[in-house]
Amino acid sequence: MWRNSATVSFSSKLLSYSSSSANPNYFHYASAFSIFSPNGVVDQALSPSHQRFYCSSAVPSPSPSSGSVIKLGFLANKSDAYLPLSLKARDAVQLARHYGRCYWELSKARLSMLVVATSGTGYVLGSGNAVDLAGLCYTCAGTMMVAASANSLNQVFEINNDAKMKRTRLRPLPSGRIAIPHAVTWASSVGFAGTALLACKANMLAAGLAASNLVLYAFVYTPLKQVHPVNTWVGAVVGAIPPLLGWAAASGQISLNGLILPAALYFWQIPHFMALAYLCRDDYAAGGYRMFSLADASGRRTAAVAFRNCLYLIPLGFIAYDCKLF
Protein backbone atom coordinates (compact mmCIF):
# COMPACT_ATOMS: atom_id res chain seq x y z
CA MET A 1 0.00 0.00 0.00
CA TRP A 2 2.49 2.67 1.16
CA ARG A 3 5.79 2.51 -0.72
CA ASN A 4 9.43 2.96 0.30
CA SER A 5 10.01 2.74 4.06
CA ALA A 6 6.43 3.33 5.11
CA THR A 7 4.86 0.34 6.84
CA VAL A 8 1.21 -0.52 7.14
CA SER A 9 -0.73 -2.85 9.46
CA PHE A 10 -4.26 -4.00 8.65
CA SER A 11 -7.26 -5.20 10.61
CA SER A 12 -10.96 -5.32 9.83
CA LYS A 13 -11.62 -2.28 12.00
CA LEU A 14 -8.39 -0.29 12.14
CA LEU A 15 -5.48 0.46 9.83
CA SER A 16 -2.46 2.11 11.38
CA TYR A 17 0.79 3.23 9.81
CA SER A 18 4.18 4.60 10.73
CA SER A 19 6.54 6.42 8.42
CA SER A 20 10.12 7.66 8.45
CA SER A 21 11.46 10.61 6.50
CA ALA A 22 11.04 8.77 3.20
CA ASN A 23 8.26 10.13 1.04
CA PRO A 24 5.63 7.58 -0.04
CA ASN A 25 3.80 8.69 -3.12
CA TYR A 26 0.44 10.20 -2.37
CA PHE A 27 -1.57 13.42 -2.33
CA HIS A 28 -3.50 14.63 0.66
CA TYR A 29 -6.23 17.20 0.91
CA ALA A 30 -8.59 18.34 3.60
CA SER A 31 -12.26 17.42 3.70
CA ALA A 32 -12.18 13.92 2.23
CA PHE A 33 -10.83 10.42 2.61
CA SER A 34 -10.19 7.37 0.50
CA ILE A 35 -9.70 3.63 0.90
CA PHE A 36 -6.76 2.03 -0.88
CA SER A 37 -5.65 -1.17 -2.47
CA PRO A 38 -2.37 -2.12 -4.16
CA ASN A 39 -4.07 -1.09 -7.40
CA GLY A 40 -4.80 2.43 -6.16
CA VAL A 41 -7.82 4.15 -4.68
CA VAL A 42 -10.91 1.93 -4.82
CA ASP A 43 -13.37 3.80 -2.66
CA GLN A 44 -13.77 7.32 -1.41
CA ALA A 45 -16.14 9.54 0.52
CA LEU A 46 -16.24 12.97 2.09
CA SER A 47 -15.57 13.98 5.65
CA PRO A 48 -14.80 17.57 6.65
CA SER A 49 -12.74 16.51 9.67
CA HIS A 50 -10.22 14.28 7.93
CA GLN A 51 -7.88 13.99 4.97
CA ARG A 52 -7.91 12.36 1.58
CA PHE A 53 -5.10 10.31 0.10
CA TYR A 54 -4.50 9.19 -3.46
CA CYS A 55 -1.80 6.63 -4.29
CA SER A 56 0.44 8.00 -7.02
CA SER A 57 3.53 6.65 -8.73
CA ALA A 58 4.49 9.96 -10.26
CA VAL A 59 4.07 12.82 -7.81
CA PRO A 60 5.59 12.48 -4.32
CA SER A 61 4.57 14.59 -1.36
CA PRO A 62 5.46 14.65 2.33
CA SER A 63 4.28 11.70 4.38
CA PRO A 64 1.76 12.10 7.20
CA SER A 65 2.99 12.47 10.73
CA SER A 66 3.81 9.31 12.63
CA GLY A 67 1.40 10.32 15.35
CA SER A 68 -1.61 9.84 13.12
CA VAL A 69 -3.81 6.80 12.80
CA ILE A 70 -5.60 5.60 9.69
CA LYS A 71 -8.94 4.15 10.62
CA LEU A 72 -10.81 2.09 8.06
CA GLY A 73 -11.98 4.70 5.63
CA PHE A 74 -10.47 7.86 7.08
CA LEU A 75 -7.40 9.49 8.59
CA ALA A 76 -7.82 10.59 12.18
CA ASN A 77 -5.40 12.20 14.58
CA LYS A 78 -5.04 11.87 18.33
CA SER A 79 -7.68 14.54 18.93
CA ASP A 80 -10.35 12.47 17.18
CA ALA A 81 -11.97 11.66 20.51
CA TYR A 82 -12.70 15.37 20.99
CA LEU A 83 -14.48 15.88 17.67
CA PRO A 84 -18.05 17.26 17.79
CA LEU A 85 -20.79 14.66 17.96
CA SER A 86 -22.08 15.68 14.51
CA LEU A 87 -18.72 14.87 12.92
CA LYS A 88 -18.53 11.52 14.69
CA ALA A 89 -22.02 10.73 13.44
CA ARG A 90 -20.99 11.67 9.93
CA ASP A 91 -17.97 9.39 10.15
CA ALA A 92 -20.22 6.58 11.36
CA VAL A 93 -22.49 7.14 8.37
CA GLN A 94 -19.52 7.02 6.00
CA LEU A 95 -18.32 3.79 7.59
CA ALA A 96 -21.81 2.29 7.24
CA ARG A 97 -21.88 3.34 3.59
CA HIS A 98 -18.49 1.71 3.03
CA TYR A 99 -19.58 -1.63 4.47
CA GLY A 100 -22.96 -1.39 2.78
CA ARG A 101 -21.24 -1.01 -0.57
CA CYS A 102 -18.96 -3.96 0.20
CA TYR A 103 -21.94 -6.15 1.16
CA TRP A 104 -23.74 -5.09 -2.03
CA GLU A 105 -20.77 -6.10 -4.19
CA LEU A 106 -20.06 -9.31 -2.27
CA SER A 107 -23.68 -10.34 -2.74
CA LYS A 108 -23.64 -9.48 -6.46
CA ALA A 109 -26.95 -7.85 -5.65
CA ARG A 110 -28.10 -7.25 -9.22
CA LEU A 111 -27.43 -10.85 -10.20
CA SER A 112 -29.16 -12.01 -7.01
CA MET A 113 -32.21 -9.93 -7.97
CA LEU A 114 -32.44 -11.86 -11.24
CA VAL A 115 -32.35 -15.08 -9.22
CA VAL A 116 -35.17 -13.69 -7.07
CA ALA A 117 -37.16 -12.89 -10.22
CA THR A 118 -36.97 -16.51 -11.38
CA SER A 119 -37.87 -17.78 -7.92
CA GLY A 120 -40.83 -15.40 -7.74
CA THR A 121 -42.01 -16.52 -11.17
CA GLY A 122 -41.86 -20.13 -10.04
CA TYR A 123 -43.91 -19.20 -6.97
CA VAL A 124 -46.60 -17.50 -9.05
CA LEU A 125 -46.81 -20.42 -11.50
CA GLY A 126 -46.99 -22.92 -8.65
CA SER A 127 -49.73 -21.00 -6.84
CA GLY A 128 -52.47 -21.71 -9.35
CA ASN A 129 -55.33 -19.21 -9.44
CA ALA A 130 -54.62 -17.45 -6.13
CA VAL A 131 -51.22 -16.05 -5.19
CA ASP A 132 -50.37 -15.52 -1.53
CA LEU A 133 -48.58 -12.17 -1.67
CA ALA A 134 -47.11 -12.54 1.81
CA GLY A 135 -45.77 -15.97 0.94
CA LEU A 136 -44.34 -14.58 -2.30
CA CYS A 137 -42.52 -11.83 -0.41
CA TYR A 138 -41.11 -14.26 2.15
CA THR A 139 -39.93 -16.59 -0.61
CA CYS A 140 -38.27 -13.77 -2.53
CA ALA A 141 -36.58 -12.44 0.62
CA GLY A 142 -35.27 -15.87 1.59
CA THR A 143 -34.03 -16.52 -1.94
CA MET A 144 -32.26 -13.15 -2.00
CA MET A 145 -30.43 -13.86 1.24
CA VAL A 146 -29.32 -17.35 0.21
CA ALA A 147 -28.18 -16.08 -3.20
CA ALA A 148 -26.23 -13.28 -1.50
CA SER A 149 -24.57 -15.84 0.76
CA ALA A 150 -23.60 -18.10 -2.14
CA ASN A 151 -22.14 -15.21 -4.14
CA SER A 152 -20.20 -13.95 -1.12
CA LEU A 153 -18.70 -17.38 -0.40
CA ASN A 154 -17.79 -17.66 -4.07
CA GLN A 155 -15.72 -14.47 -3.79
CA VAL A 156 -14.10 -15.65 -0.56
CA PHE A 157 -12.91 -18.85 -2.24
CA GLU A 158 -11.81 -17.10 -5.43
CA ILE A 159 -10.01 -14.11 -3.93
CA ASN A 160 -6.63 -15.04 -5.44
CA ASN A 161 -8.15 -15.75 -8.84
CA ASP A 162 -10.17 -12.54 -8.83
CA ALA A 163 -7.01 -10.54 -8.11
CA LYS A 164 -5.55 -11.75 -11.43
CA MET A 165 -8.52 -10.81 -13.61
CA LYS A 166 -9.21 -7.33 -14.96
CA ARG A 167 -12.97 -7.47 -14.48
CA THR A 168 -12.82 -8.77 -10.89
CA ARG A 169 -9.67 -7.37 -9.28
CA LEU A 170 -11.49 -4.38 -7.76
CA ARG A 171 -14.01 -6.51 -5.90
CA PRO A 172 -14.10 -5.92 -2.11
CA LEU A 173 -11.82 -8.83 -1.14
CA PRO A 174 -8.99 -8.64 -3.70
CA SER A 175 -8.95 -4.84 -3.40
CA GLY A 176 -8.61 -5.09 0.40
CA ARG A 177 -11.74 -3.10 1.23
CA ILE A 178 -13.03 -5.78 3.57
CA ALA A 179 -11.35 -8.58 5.54
CA ILE A 180 -11.93 -12.26 4.77
CA PRO A 181 -13.32 -13.12 8.26
CA HIS A 182 -15.77 -10.24 7.91
CA ALA A 183 -16.93 -11.50 4.51
CA VAL A 184 -17.30 -15.07 5.83
CA THR A 185 -19.36 -13.81 8.77
CA TRP A 186 -21.61 -11.87 6.41
CA ALA A 187 -22.06 -14.85 4.07
CA SER A 188 -22.79 -17.29 6.89
CA SER A 189 -25.26 -14.95 8.58
CA VAL A 190 -27.39 -14.16 5.53
CA GLY A 191 -27.27 -17.78 4.34
CA PHE A 192 -28.53 -19.10 7.65
CA ALA A 193 -31.14 -16.35 7.94
CA GLY A 194 -32.46 -16.95 4.42
CA THR A 195 -32.72 -20.71 4.90
CA ALA A 196 -34.44 -20.25 8.27
CA LEU A 197 -36.90 -17.75 6.75
CA LEU A 198 -37.86 -20.21 4.01
CA ALA A 199 -38.24 -23.03 6.53
CA CYS A 200 -40.50 -20.96 8.81
CA LYS A 201 -42.56 -19.02 6.26
CA ALA A 202 -42.62 -21.37 3.26
CA ASN A 203 -41.82 -25.04 3.88
CA MET A 204 -38.92 -27.39 4.51
CA LEU A 205 -38.80 -28.45 0.86
CA ALA A 206 -38.10 -24.90 -0.28
CA ALA A 207 -35.54 -24.43 2.51
CA GLY A 208 -33.84 -27.69 1.56
CA LEU A 209 -33.61 -26.67 -2.09
CA ALA A 210 -32.14 -23.30 -1.10
CA ALA A 211 -29.53 -24.84 1.21
CA SER A 212 -28.64 -27.50 -1.37
CA ASN A 213 -28.20 -24.89 -4.07
CA LEU A 214 -25.95 -22.82 -1.82
CA VAL A 215 -23.73 -25.85 -1.19
CA LEU A 216 -23.74 -26.81 -4.88
CA TYR A 217 -22.69 -23.30 -5.95
CA ALA A 218 -20.14 -22.47 -3.28
CA PHE A 219 -18.58 -25.86 -2.59
CA VAL A 220 -18.96 -27.76 -5.88
CA TYR A 221 -19.26 -25.33 -8.79
CA THR A 222 -16.75 -22.80 -7.46
CA PRO A 223 -13.77 -25.17 -7.02
CA LEU A 224 -14.75 -27.10 -10.16
CA LYS A 225 -14.14 -23.97 -12.26
CA GLN A 226 -10.42 -24.50 -11.71
CA VAL A 227 -10.54 -28.24 -12.44
CA HIS A 228 -12.72 -29.09 -15.46
CA PRO A 229 -14.86 -27.35 -18.14
CA VAL A 230 -17.90 -29.33 -16.97
CA ASN A 231 -18.30 -26.53 -14.42
CA THR A 232 -20.48 -24.69 -16.96
CA TRP A 233 -23.11 -27.43 -16.89
CA VAL A 234 -22.99 -27.63 -13.10
CA GLY A 235 -23.43 -23.87 -12.92
CA ALA A 236 -26.48 -24.15 -15.17
CA VAL A 237 -28.05 -26.56 -12.68
CA VAL A 238 -27.49 -23.97 -9.95
CA GLY A 239 -29.29 -21.35 -12.02
CA ALA A 240 -32.19 -23.68 -12.76
CA ILE A 241 -33.06 -24.47 -9.14
CA PRO A 242 -34.50 -21.07 -7.99
CA PRO A 243 -37.75 -21.33 -10.04
CA LEU A 244 -38.15 -24.87 -8.72
CA LEU A 245 -37.64 -23.46 -5.23
CA GLY A 246 -40.41 -20.93 -5.83
CA TRP A 247 -42.75 -23.62 -7.15
CA ALA A 248 -42.05 -25.80 -4.12
CA ALA A 249 -42.62 -22.88 -1.74
CA ALA A 250 -46.06 -22.25 -3.26
CA SER A 251 -47.29 -25.80 -3.82
CA GLY A 252 -45.32 -27.79 -1.26
CA GLN A 253 -44.28 -30.33 -3.88
CA ILE A 254 -42.25 -30.87 -7.05
CA SER A 255 -44.30 -31.84 -10.11
CA LEU A 256 -43.54 -32.32 -13.80
CA ASN A 257 -45.14 -28.96 -14.58
CA GLY A 258 -42.81 -27.36 -12.07
CA LEU A 259 -39.76 -28.64 -13.99
CA ILE A 260 -40.55 -26.84 -17.26
CA LEU A 261 -39.28 -23.39 -16.27
CA PRO A 262 -36.13 -24.79 -14.58
CA ALA A 263 -35.40 -26.79 -17.75
CA ALA A 264 -35.78 -23.65 -19.87
CA LEU A 265 -33.39 -21.75 -17.62
CA TYR A 266 -30.89 -24.61 -17.71
CA PHE A 267 -30.73 -24.72 -21.52
CA TRP A 268 -30.72 -20.91 -21.78
CA GLN A 269 -27.72 -20.56 -19.47
CA ILE A 270 -25.43 -22.77 -21.58
CA PRO A 271 -25.24 -20.38 -24.58
CA HIS A 272 -25.08 -17.44 -22.17
CA PHE A 273 -22.07 -18.85 -20.32
CA MET A 274 -20.42 -20.10 -23.52
CA ALA A 275 -20.56 -16.63 -25.07
CA LEU A 276 -19.25 -14.97 -21.91
CA ALA A 277 -16.43 -17.48 -21.48
CA TYR A 278 -15.36 -17.09 -25.11
CA LEU A 279 -15.36 -13.29 -25.07
CA CYS A 280 -13.43 -13.22 -21.77
CA ARG A 281 -11.26 -16.28 -22.42
CA ASP A 282 -7.96 -14.45 -21.90
CA ASP A 283 -9.17 -13.10 -18.56
CA TYR A 284 -10.39 -16.54 -17.49
CA ALA A 285 -7.05 -18.06 -18.47
CA ALA A 286 -5.23 -15.45 -16.38
CA GLY A 287 -7.46 -16.29 -13.43
CA GLY A 288 -6.68 -20.00 -13.68
CA TYR A 289 -10.17 -21.15 -14.71
CA ARG A 290 -10.78 -24.20 -16.92
CA MET A 291 -13.44 -23.08 -19.36
CA PHE A 292 -14.67 -24.95 -22.43
CA SER A 293 -13.78 -22.06 -24.73
CA LEU A 294 -10.08 -22.01 -23.75
CA ALA A 295 -9.39 -25.06 -25.93
CA ASP A 296 -11.41 -23.65 -28.83
CA ALA A 297 -9.46 -20.82 -30.47
CA SER A 298 -11.78 -20.65 -33.48
CA GLY A 299 -14.93 -20.60 -31.36
CA ARG A 300 -16.70 -23.13 -33.59
CA ARG A 301 -17.14 -25.82 -30.95
CA THR A 302 -18.30 -23.24 -28.43
CA ALA A 303 -20.84 -21.87 -30.92
CA ALA A 304 -22.07 -25.38 -31.75
CA VAL A 305 -22.70 -26.20 -28.09
CA ALA A 306 -24.50 -22.89 -27.59
CA PHE A 307 -26.66 -23.38 -30.70
CA ARG A 308 -27.58 -26.94 -29.76
CA ASN A 309 -28.86 -25.83 -26.36
CA CYS A 310 -30.86 -23.04 -27.99
CA LEU A 311 -32.63 -25.67 -30.08
CA TYR A 312 -33.54 -27.57 -26.92
CA LEU A 313 -35.58 -24.55 -25.82
CA ILE A 314 -38.03 -24.80 -28.73
CA PRO A 315 -40.04 -27.86 -27.62
CA LEU A 316 -40.24 -26.54 -24.06
CA GLY A 317 -42.54 -23.76 -25.25
CA PHE A 318 -44.98 -26.27 -26.72
CA ILE A 319 -44.79 -28.45 -23.62
CA ALA A 320 -45.56 -25.46 -21.39
CA TYR A 321 -48.56 -24.60 -23.59
CA ASP A 322 -49.90 -28.17 -23.54
CA CYS A 323 -49.55 -28.29 -19.75
CA LYS A 324 -51.43 -24.97 -19.48
CA LEU A 325 -48.54 -23.55 -17.50
CA PHE A 326 -49.24 -20.01 -18.69
pLDDT single digits (tens) 187-244: 999 999 999 999 999 999 999 999 999 999 999 999 999 999 999 999 999 999 999 9
The pLDDT of residue 311 is above 60: yes
Interval 246-255 mean pLDDT: 95
> Which residues have C-beta within 8 Å of that of residue 172, sequence separation ≥ 6?
102, 105, 106, 155, 178, 183
d(CA 107, CA 146): 9
Q: What is the pLDDT of residue 321?
A: 87
pTM of the shown model? 0.74
The answer to whether 13 and 72 are in contact (CB under 8 A) is yes
Q: What is the mean pLDDT of residues 7-23?
A: 36
Q: Which residues pair with 119 in a beta bridge?
A: none
For range 248-276, the mean pLDDT: 95
Say what the pLDDT of residue 279 is: 92
DSSP strand pairing (74-76 vs 40-55):
unpaired
pLDDT in tens, 133-146: 999 999 999 999 99
Q: Which of 58, 53, 31 is nearest to 43 (CA)?
A: 53
- Distance between CA atoms of 108 and 281, rounded to whole angstroms? 21
117: how many CB neighbours lie within 10 A of its CB?
15
**Average pLDDT estimate for 156-177:** 94
Domains of the chain (ranges; CATH) run 7-83 (no CATH), 102-322 (1.10.357.140)
Q: In the prediction, which pLDDT does 87 show?
A: 79
Band the pLDDT of 295: cuts 50, 70, 90: confident
